[in-house]
Amino acid sequence: MSNSNRADAVNLIAVRGGTPPMPGTAVSMDDFGEDVFTPGVMQQYLPKDVTDALLKTIHFGRPLDPALAGDVASAMKRWALERGATHFTHWFQPLNGGTAEKHDAFLELSDDGKALMEFSGKNLIGGETDASSFPSGGLRCTFEARGYTAWDPTSPAFIKRHSNGATLCIPTAFCSFTGEALDKKTPLLRSIQSLNRSTTRLMRCFGLPEARVMVTLGAEQEYFLIDKLFYLQRPDLMQTGRTLFGAPPPKHQQMEDHYFGSIKPRVLAFMTEVERELWKLGIPAKTRHNEAAPAQFEIAPRFEELNLAVDHNMLIMEVLRVVADRHDLVCLMHEKPFFGVNGSGKHCNWSIDYGDLSLLKPGSDPHRNAIFLTALCAVIRAVDLHSDMLRAVTAGAGNDHRLGANEAPPAIISIFLGDQLTEVIEQIETGSVTGSKCRPGALKIGADMLPPLPRDATDRNRTSPFAFTGNKFEFRAPGSGQSCSAVNMVLNTIVAESFDFISGELEKVDKEDFNNGLQKILQQIIRNHKRVIFNGDNYSKEWVIEAEKRGLPNLRSTIEAIEPLRSPANQELMVRYGVLSKSELDSRYEILLEEYLRKLRIEAGIALEIARSMINPVAVDEFNRLCAALNQAVQAGATHGISALKNAAGRLGLSLDELNAAGDELKVAITGEPTEILAALERLRRAVDTLEYQVDDARWPLPKYREMLFIY
């Protein structure tokens, strides 16, 4: 018995990888936004008053007059038809973590049976779809199928192209017949609105005139690429997105030679096409590079308005998958597709602007520095009080394997500020400056300037889950395959609450004594919440012990991590800020729990199938070969090799026994508790991985790590 499929795949990929990529069209600046209904397009296709009204909605959140929807719809239709679109869809983000679309043709029939291309304001503003087949956590039943999509004018319509045509995509919210949010966009928009109000209130305390509030996001997307031929021979990858078996090769990432290394021609051709597709969609993809693990890569866009950035990240993931398929590759976005090497995250770089003022950027004058320090302390307070909620929205079966592993932050949420800012925070708390980088004396908010802080005044701490990086916070806990919506929804809400807390205290302060009053408020915040600041090695065992002493939660598994969604205090906060109702929060808990259990049981089922139908037969055949060779040697009266054959057969026999015992354990555990399933999966993995080292390489049925990670 030999495994010709795996050997043939290696040979084919070796030839394919050595062939120069087909020449394609180079990325051009002229491509950018080509398939997006941009403000420039609006000005071409819409009357000026309609364009002005629509732009006020986009930039300032002003309500859009429904009477204008007809003009907008007509303009969108003309623009889309000129670009080859035949259908339109309301593009939305249900609670399954992906995107959804139902295509409707522009086609209508006249009274005499002639075809017409129609698209009305009613078609644009809203649509109806089946809500029963999407996750709802009990908000909808099968017999309560009605759901509605509602146009989000703050995210521009765009065109998705395919080999035989194009579709006009209209970003929308998705809600039930009874008004509950059934998607990830609606709560995000609510949280942005809440943070806008709270920011405006806080800036009013500082005497600033009303200005536009803009929450921004830059989402770094990590992913793996493997050849499609390998993927199709790995039922675990196809069914779960990760390898359930695979013995680590002698060399994987420990030589640190892949990170930022030269990009292979085949991968670079893929990346170039990805960028071209993204630029057409108006997505400012800017950075591409090799990541730390072999076959791992990253793409990062420029910062954008938060809601748009989230939509764009969903499109980035889709484009990565689609373009990979064209290149006979598969893009893996599971948080931990390969055991023992780096997993993939989605680093969310969050910041907030008020007019031309970045609230998280130190300024050159005392007033701006006072605002910066206030915003900084507000974030510290928010994360300390609500780290459990930030952890809850990063929970998932895949991220459980990544968080706390050798390359990802732990499940303990802490903040990295760097030495210089930490020193400033300590000085605010004490009110004095001694032996520091600041000038000696008393540090008074709004009077003394901060020490000069360049944009990146601190070293990077790649182990921190929530790090200050110059003029933003980088949240590194979210997993590669997760939507950015939930983490930013929570971050917006908890910061809004902290802004309101500070505003409430400042509104009690005598205006003549504003700076002293502010200093006392910030001092109290620092004293109460400095425990969440940690600048050391988050990967160390010592930090886990120290965090426990500080009282910081360490919610290691999804079951633990999602429990805060049911906390009365957390629910009261989300309800008070109008982001999620109690029933909507309860539904998210149910969805996350059900998704987690389903994924575990799918993993258990496919692991059992692979072990019994693919691994066991080749292991038995190997055992029979060894036994036959041993019998022949004994019968031939051989004086050497008998002991080696006997030992090899004995080791393989023990491994076969362990394989079957582990399989039996998993078969029982599959309907049990998550901890039982995970323990049985781990035992079966050890048994299979041990056999991978014992069975003749030519007979092993699964592509190995050394092949998948290095041949592409």
Residues 491-503 have a mean pLDDT of 98
User: Which tens digits make up the pLDDT trace of 88-131?
Assistant: 999 999 999 999 999 999 877 666 666 556 788 888 888 877 66
Stronger pLDDT, 541 or 186, i.e. the higher one: 186
pLDDT of res. 499: 98
pLDDT of res. 440: 46
- DSSP alpha helix (H) spans, 241-365: 265-280, 306-326
pLDDT of res. 69: 87
Instruction: Reply yes or no on whether the pLDDT at 483 is more than 50.
Output: yes
What three-state secondary structure class fits 369?
helix
- DSSP alpha helix (H) spans, 250-301: 265-280
Residues of the chain with pLDDT > 70, as a percent, come to 92
Res. 207 pLDDT band, cuts 50 70 90: very high
pLDDT of res. 459: 60
Give the burial string for 678-698 (b: 16+ CB within 10 Å, else e). Answer: bebbebbbbbbbbbbebbeee
320: nearest Cα among 281, 292, 351, 357: 281
User: Which tens digits make up the pLDDT trace of 298-340?
Assistant: 999 999 999 999 999 999 999 999 999 999 999 999 999 999 9
Cβ partners under 8 Å of residue 18, min gap 6? none
Our CA dihedral for 123, 129, 134, 136, rounded to 10 degrees, sits at: 90
pLDDT of res. 436: 47
Which pair of tokens denotes residue 307? 């809601």
pLDDT of res. 130: 67
Instruction: Reply yes or no on whether the pLDDT at 460 is more than 90.
Output: no
Asked if 320 contacts 277 with a C-beta cutoff of 8 angstroms, the reply is no
Asked if 416 contacts 535 with a C-beta cutoff of 8 angstroms, the reply is yes
Strand partners, 486: none
Mean pLDDT for the chain overall? 90
Query: pTM of the full predicted structure?
Result: 0.93
How open is the CA angle 400-406-410, to the nearest 5 degrees?
50
CA end-to-end distance (rounded Å), the chain: 27
pLDDT of res. 108: 76
Alpha-carbon gap, residue 416 to 469, rounded angstroms: 9
**Least confidently predicted of 70-84, 455-469, 653-667:** 455-469
Long-range Cβ pairs for the range 663-672 (8 Å, 24+): 663/608, 663/611, 663/612, 663/616, 666/604, 666/607, 666/608, 667/608, 669/604, 670/601, 670/604, 670/605, 670/608, 671/601
Inter-CA distances, 499 with 195, 316, 375, Å: 8, 32, 8
Res. 461 pLDDT band, cuts 50 70 90: confident
pLDDT of res. 438: 46
Q: Which residue has the tokens 């399989």?
A: 663
Residues 390-402 have a mean pLDDT of 95
What three-state secondary structure class fits 603?
helix
Fold topology of 32-183: Ubiquitin-like (UB roll) (3.10.20)
CB atoms near residue 326 (< 10 Å): 10
Res. 435 pLDDT band, cuts 50 70 90: very low
**Least confidently predicted of 239-253, 325-339, 344-358, 444-458:** 444-458
Strand partners, 474: 349, 467
pLDDT of res. 343: 93
Three-state SS letters, 32-81: CCCCECCHHHHHHHCCHHHHHHHHHHHHHCCCCCHHHHHHHHHHHHHHHH
Which pair of tokens denotes residue 669? 């555990």
Alpha-carbon gap, residue 281 to 320, rounded angstroms: 13
Inter-CA distances, 507 with 162, 203, 381, 446, 512, Å: 56, 12, 19, 17, 12
Instruction: Reply yes or no on whether the pLDDT at 47 is more than 50.
Output: yes
Instruction: Reply yes or no on whether the pLDDT at 193 is more than 80.
Output: yes
pLDDT of res. 110: 63
Residues 288-307 have a mean pLDDT of 95
Alpha-carbon gap, residue 133 to 372, rounded angstroms: 46
User: Which tens digits make up the pLDDT trace of 228-243?
Assistant: 999 999 999 999 999 9
What three-state secondary structure class fits 259?
coil
Instruction: Reply yes or no on whether the pLDDT at 157 is more than 80.
Output: yes
Across the chain, how many H-helices and E-strands are there? Answer: 23, 18
The ranges of the chain annotated as CATH 1.20.120.1560 are 597-708
Distance of CA 113 to the CA centre of its chain: 49
Res. 144 pLDDT band, cuts 50 70 90: low
Instruction: Reply yes or no on whether the pLDDT at 204 is more than 80.
Output: yes
Alpha-carbon gap, residue 395 to 556, rounded angstroms: 9
Alpha-carbon gap, residue 301 to 308, rounded angstroms: 12
Asked if 487 contacts 391 with a C-beta cutoff of 8 angstroms, the reply is no
Asked if 683 contacts 607 with a C-beta cutoff of 8 angstroms, the reply is no
Q: How many residues does the chain have?
A: 712
Stronger pLDDT, 534 or 459, i.e. the higher one: 534
Q: Is 78 exposed, middle or buried (0-12, 13-18, 19+ CB in 10 A)?
A: middle
The ranges of the chain annotated as CATH 3.10.20.70 are 32-183
Residues 248-262 have a mean pLDDT of 85
Residues 462-468 have a mean pLDDT of 89
Instruction: Reply yes or no on whether the pLDDT at 20 is more than 90.
Output: no
Q: Which CATH architecture describes the domain 597-708?
A: Up-down Bundle (1.20)
User: Which tens digits make up the pLDDT trace of 580-617?
Assistant: 999 999 999 999 999 999 999 999 999 999 999 999 99
Q: What is the DSSP string of 219-234?
A: EEEEEEEEEHHHHHT-
SS3 content of the chain, % helix, strand, coil (to 5): 50, 15, 35
Cα within 13 Å of Cα(302), Cβ side: 8
Check if CATH label 3.30.590.10 holds for domain 192-244+253-580. Answer: yes
